[in-house]
């Protein structure tokens, strides 16, 4: 018998394209490929962990048919959960932080999510966080299940079982560098583990916003003495160490700032007409800022992970490219 999971995973989630990027390869004198995750069902990489976490909960009978999947999300995991819930006959309650883009909120509402906007996503110890509020909601509703991507082992497993093997096959095992933004840590930990099991020399590099603490943790295995707010690059950065982040499979984390990320996104759009997502632009910005340290060889195969699409961030990244219609008040008079 074909399980619903198999139909979804093979048809709509995973098996995304890996494309050679001529513009970046020429610019940085190496072979740069982009793993385009906006081809998934909910148009982001987070459909993968969403599906794994939900199937696991269903298999372990943690939720009954018609029950409510609950998640704390910067938007993408929430959208994946909402769309999959609809297909499998469940409901979705999503707690998003106020930094979530207007476009993602609209998509969540249109997909049928019941959403609540919270002050921050600072983790379970903060009463105003998406995580705390999601956990409280789930504990008060008998047929609700909190997927808890920050601590759910299925988050890493989804990328270990699907994203990592796809990239390995698509590069014919030639990959030398994997570079991805880090939020919950699921992507880099799962892909990193898979790739390093194939070849320990593959460089696994994370990208986080300035002020985030994951890079410090990778380097020192301790928390920094002071924790400051990190730059608001949607989807990446943390001020606690999630259980779904496994520093053992990450070689280094580079920091980029928000302004530089926005600049790179706009520049790339103006040059190519392609709108990349916010955290994808952060990955590109890291090349601009650290190319000397990255020291790519012309024969290297570098895979950049693009978790979603720029259409989700028009209001944040590309708004000054929008031409306003002429009205009597802004028309130039000669």
Shortest Cβ contact with ligand PMP: which residue?
235
Catalog residues that contact ligand PMP under the rule CB under 6 A. Answer: 44, 46, 74, 76, 181-187, 235-236, 277, 279, 307-308
Give CA–CA dist 324/250, Å, rounded: 45
CB of 330 to ligand PMP, least distance (A): 34
Of 164 and 307, CB closest to ligand PMP = 307
CB of 60 to ligand PMP, least distance (A): 22
CB of 236 to ligand PMP, least distance (A): 5
Of 255 and 279, CB closest to ligand PMP = 279
Give CA–CA dist 192/241, Å, rounded: 17
Q: What's the Cα-to-Cα distance from 104 to each of 86, 176, 200, 283, rounded to whole Å?
A: 17, 33, 37, 20
Of 181 and 215, CB closest to ligand PMP = 181
Of 55 and 300, CB closest to ligand PMP = 55
CB of 98 to ligand PMP, least distance (A): 15
Of 21 and 300, CB closest to ligand PMP = 21
Burial grade of 42 (CB within 10 A; 0-12, 13-18, 19 or more) = buried
Residue from 35, 31, 39 nearest 13 by CA: 39
Give CA–CA dist 236/11, Å, rounded: 28
Of 238 and 300, CB closest to ligand PMP = 238
CB of 164 to ligand PMP, least distance (A): 12
CB of 235 to ligand PMP, least distance (A): 3
Of 103 and 126, CB closest to ligand PMP = 103
CB of 295 to ligand PMP, least distance (A): 25
Phi, psi angles (nearest 5°) of residue 23: -60, -50
Burial grade of 256 (CB within 10 A; 0-12, 13-18, 19 or more) = buried
Alpha-helical runs (H) found in 144-185: 153-158, 164-170
Q: Is 295 left (phi over 0), alpha (psi -120 to 50) or beta?
A: left
Of 74 and 129, CB closest to ligand PMP = 74
Give CA–CA dist 325/35, Å, rounded: 36
Query: Which residues face 78 on adjacent strands?
Result: none
Element (H, E) at 219: helix 214-220
Of 175 and 214, CB closest to ligand PMP = 214
CB of 324 to ligand PMP, least distance (A): 28
Q: What's the Cα-to-Cα distance from 288 to each of 29, 78, 301, rounded to whole Å?
A: 13, 31, 17
Sheet holding 114-118, edge to edge: 114-118, 91-97, 68-73, 144-146
CB of 237 to ligand PMP, least distance (A): 9
Phi, psi angles (nearest 5°) of residue 188: -65, -35
């Amino acid at each position: 018998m074909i399980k619903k999971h198999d139909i979804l995973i093979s048809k709509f989630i995973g098996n995304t394209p890996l494309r050679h990027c001529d513009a970046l390869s020429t610019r940085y004198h190496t072979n740069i490929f982009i793993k385009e995750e906006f081809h998934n069902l909910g148009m982001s990489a987070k459909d993968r962990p969403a599906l794994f976490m939900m199937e696991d909960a269903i298999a372990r009978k943690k939720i009954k048919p018609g029950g409510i999947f609950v998640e704390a999300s910067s938007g993408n995991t929430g959208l994946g959960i909402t769309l999959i819930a609809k297909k499998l006959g469940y409901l979705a309650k999503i707690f998003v932080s106020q930094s979530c883009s207007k476009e993602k909120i609209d998509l969540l509402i249109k997909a049928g999510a019941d959403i609540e906007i919270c002050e921050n996503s600072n983790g379970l110890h903060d009463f105003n966080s998406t995580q705390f509020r999601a956990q409280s909601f789930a504990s008060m509703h008998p047929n609700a299940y909190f997927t808890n991507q920050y601590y759910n082992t299925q988050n890493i497993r989804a990328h270990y079982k699907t994203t990592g093997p796809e990239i390995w096959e698509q590069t014919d095992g030639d990959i030398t560098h994997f570079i991805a933004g880090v939020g919950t840590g699921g992507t880099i930990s799962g892909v990193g583990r898979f790739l390093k099991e194939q070849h320990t020399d593959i460089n696994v590099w994370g990208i986080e916003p300035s002020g985030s603490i994951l890079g410090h943790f990778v380097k020192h295995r301790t928390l920094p003495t002071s924790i400051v707010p990190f730059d608001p690059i949607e989807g990446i950065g943390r001020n606690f160490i999630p259980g779904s982040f496994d520093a053992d499979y990450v070689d280094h984390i580079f920091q980029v700032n928000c302004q530089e990320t926005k600049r790179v996104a706009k520049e790339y759009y103006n040059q190519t007409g392609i709108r990349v997502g916010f955290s994808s632009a952060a990955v590109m910005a890291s090349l601009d800022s650290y190319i000397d340290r990255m020291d790519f060889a012309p024969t290297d195969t570098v895979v950049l992970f693009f978790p979603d699409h720029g259409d989700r961030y028009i209001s944040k990244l590309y708004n000054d490219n929008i031409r306003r219609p002429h009205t009597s008040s802004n028309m130039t008079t000669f």
